[in-house]
A and B are shown apart, each in its own frame.
Chain A
């Protein structure tokens, strides 16, 4: 099977040497069971030690190895050479992000956004360890479970044309994580998160292209999270118009 070769065209950016990126062509043995990441590792180990990229778990859960493969954001540990071969694979850094080197993108902006939306538990009521766990029914868990499975791979940002052109947009994963806590029966942080979520760079920048949900490798469906947040914000607005309205959306 390894008699055949697969061909990759890999984005190279080496700021110590050149200020402009180039593409480099590599031939690697084709194996039926190899993922694209295996091909990159083969290049790194046997052909060119200067290629830089991130990876770690190689089982689709750490979220490190997201790259553009033939123009589409993919976890390279979860797509196979056989999905493309004999087509040439063009491997590029995730779109929309600044590039540090080769396939390594700058994640600072995304990391800051996670903090801005306060993607952590803000308890509705305090509870001591001695009082034990908060009770949460399986049905209540099911409400937010899907949004809690985001692996922060940022493929959704690479797919989002809004983020691509306006990086101030909070973006799909951060909004989905905010919604994950907003919809958690133990959480009471909706108001605090609303400041970021519903401001000018929040959910209203989303024009519902829907590609974030298409590319999500974990079926988190961030597009749904964003639209649901919009509904909450709308309800809040109408409530604020009437004197008896309370600015709080049920979760």
Chain B
């Protein structure tokens, strides 16, 4: 493989100087120093909970009907659901805002406005959510 050559590695004088470089410490509270870093850390940590909830849901599917009912009822469960919902919403918003970075749509030389793309995704998300809520309500009504 061709490799760019720089003479410094061979130079003894440079070797001495390399030892005198100052390595700036990376502060342990770095993630508190900027809002974007803090939000990032919250995202990293909450991912564990959101993931855990997904596994919890999968496990529930394999439980007998009575046990399912027992697991999702009661104030503790309701509270947990609200918390996880908030976390999931945060991840959803992150994901939708990230979309235009990944999904670049071109119309000739013009890039389709990223805000438009994100907005379309939000609309899709809300419509889909409404459909599911409607379906659940319909099924629940039918069941009664």
Contacts and interface: CB of A to CB of B under 8 A. Distances in A.
Interface of A: 13, 15, 19, 21, 71, 93, 95-100, 106, 108, 111-112, 114-115, 138-139, 141-143, 161, 164-165, 207-211, 214, 221, 223-224, 227-228, 230-231
Contacts of A207: 40, 44
B22 A15 contact: yes
B36 interface: yes
Interface in B71-108: 98, 101-102, 104, 106, 108
B22 A231 contact: no
25 contacts: A13-B22, A15-B20, A15-B21, A98-B21, A98-B22, A99-B21, A99-B22, A99-B23, A115-B4, A138-B109, A139-B106, A139-B109, A141-B109, A142-B111, A161-B30, A161-B31, A161-B37, A161-B40, A164-B26, A208-B40, A209-B37, A210-B36, A211-B37, A224-B104, A227-B98
Given A99-B24, A165-B26, A115 B3 contact: yes
Contact of A214 (B24, B26, B36, B104): B36
Contacts of B104: 224, 228
Given A111-B6, A139-B109, A100 B40 contact: no
Nearest to A20: B22
Interface string B14-45: 00010011111010001101101100100010
B8 interface: yes
Given A95-B26, A139-B109, 18 more contacts: A15-B20, A15-B21, A98-B21, A98-B22, A98-B24, A99-B21, A114-B4, A138-B108, A139-B108, A161-B31, A161-B40, A208-B40, A209-B37, A209-B40, A210-B36, A211-B34, A211-B36, A224-B102
Nearest to A21: B22
Contacts of B33: 71
- Which applies to chain B's interface (DSSP): helix, strand, loop or mixed? mixed
A100 B21 CA distance: 5
A221 B4 CA distance: 26
Nearest to A92: B24
A112 B3 CA distance: 9
Contacts of A164: 26, 30
A228 B31 contact: no
Given A100-B21, A142-B109, A227 B102 contact: yes
Contacts of A224: 101-102, 104
B26 to A, nearest CB: 5
Contact of A108 (B6, B36, B110): B6
A97 B37 CA distance: 19
A13 B21 CA distance: 9
Contact of A223 (B21, B44, B101, B106): B101
A217 B137 CA distance: 51
Contacts of A115: 3-4
Nearest to B14: A108
Interface string B41-52: 000100000000
Nearest to B44: A207
Nearest to A68: B24
Nearest to B99: A227
Nearest to B9: A108
A95 B24 contact: yes
Given A108-B8, A207-B40, A209-B36, A231 B102 contact: yes
B102 A93 contact: no
Contacts of B4: 111-112, 114-115
A187 to B, nearest CB: 17
